[in-house]
Every structure is written in C-alpha cells, then in structure tokens.
Amino acid sequence: MAGQVRPITLVGTPVLHQACRPVQEFDAALAELADDMFASMYAAEGVGLAANQIGVDLRIFVYDCPDEDGGRHKGTVVNPVLELPDLADRRLDDSEEGCLSVPGPHARVARPDRAAVHGFDVKGDPITVEGTGLLARCLQHETDHLEGKVYIDRLSARARKKVLKEYEELRAAAAEAG
C-alpha cells in the first residue's frame, strides 16, 4: 500500500460537521489522497472512509466492504450522488452501525437495504456503485459524511446521547490508562 496512515478525525471536529467541497481536479494529489485514505481505513480496520475523516474537506470516499452475499467490493468514489430505491420499493434494514470517528459504541440505524452512488473514480471516469447488505449501509454512511452528517445525527436524541456518553467514557478510560 502506497499511502500514508493519517490520524482519524473525531466527532466534534468542525470538518466532520460541514458539507465537503466538490473535487475539481483529478490530479496526482487526488490519487495520493485516495491512497492515504485506503491506508488510514485499513489501519483503523474500517470498511469505508470519507476524506473529512482524515481532515480533508473534499467529496471523496473509499470503501472495501462485503455485500449481503459476502462478495467483497473495493473502490473510490469522487463527488458521489446517492440513489435510494423509490419509497414504494424501499425495505429498511435496522442493523447496528458504528463509525471510526466515534470509536467504540454502536447503535441501530434503519436504512434502505440497497443503495447506489453515481460519481467518478480517481481518474475522473464516471462510475456507479450498487450495494446490498453492509455495502448499501456503507455507501449511505460515507455519502452522509461528505454532507457533514455523522450516523449519530440520524439517531433519536436519547440514543445519540447514549452513544456519545459511551464514547466519552471510553476516551476518558483510555486517557487515564495513558
């Protein structure tokens, strides 16, 4: 892996809570950013990572994630636009979700069980990625990040508070352990 592992941005950092800027240049710097994002995602043992999770304000995410049949899918999506099934065809999958930027806790989030994103690869060629199972969840979670939304923003106020409390307690314990 060519990329460099960069620190993961944590919840509360402004870049995670605002919409990212569209990518305009498909240049070497963008390819390098994608490499760094893969390296950072693997180091943190995640299945997806958005650029603002390493502090970069650009609309790009990477993923390496299984679908509902266990097939592995890996790639980069630049300037993604999410497409969900029509309401009439929509089935919700109410499964546990977590986030590298809120390390520790998990919470149930109901999301459509299939999703597609339209966008570009790092070279600027148009692509569409369709996903089921965990991949469908990942595509939605990462696109949310680029809109400045963390999964806990989709929880009830009470569930959100519980997740943040668990996260803070783990942080405090880790700080104490040195």
Catalytic positions, written as ranges: 142
- Rounded distance, CA 159 to CA 62, Å? 28
Reference 46, options 54, 38, 36; nearest CA is: 38
What angle (nearest 5°) sits at the alpha carbon of residue 103, between those of residues 19 and 78? 35
What x/- string results for residues 22 through 61 when contact with Zn ion is judged by CB under 5 A? ----------------------------------------
CB 131, min distance to Zn ion, A? 16
The answer to the question of residue 99 lying near Zn ion (CB under 5 A) is yes
Hey, is 132 helix, strand or coil?
Answer: strand
- Rounded distance, CA 30 to CA 85, Å? 31
- Could you tell me which stretch among 19-27, 92-100, 107-115, 125-133 binds Zn ion (CB under 5 A)? 92-100
What is the maximum alpha-carbon separation in the chain? 52
Closer CB to Zn ion, 99 or 129, in the complex: 99
Instruction: Judge whether 141 is annotated as a binding position.
Output: yes
Reading the block at residue 98, the tokens are 């977590």
| Residue sitting closest to Zn ion (CB) | 99
Closer CB to Zn ion, 99 or 134, in the complex: 99
Q: How many residues bind Zn ion (CB under 5 A)?
A: 1
Instruction: Judge whether 118 is annotated as a binding position.
Output: no
Instruction: Judge whether 17 is annotated as a binding position.
Output: no
Q: Strand ranges (DSSP E) for 8-145?
A: 48-50, 60-66, 72-83, 92-97, 107-112, 114-120, 126-132
Note the residues at the interface with Zn ion (CB under 5 A): 99
Annotated binding site: 99, 141, 145
Annotated binding site for Fe cation: 99, 141, 145
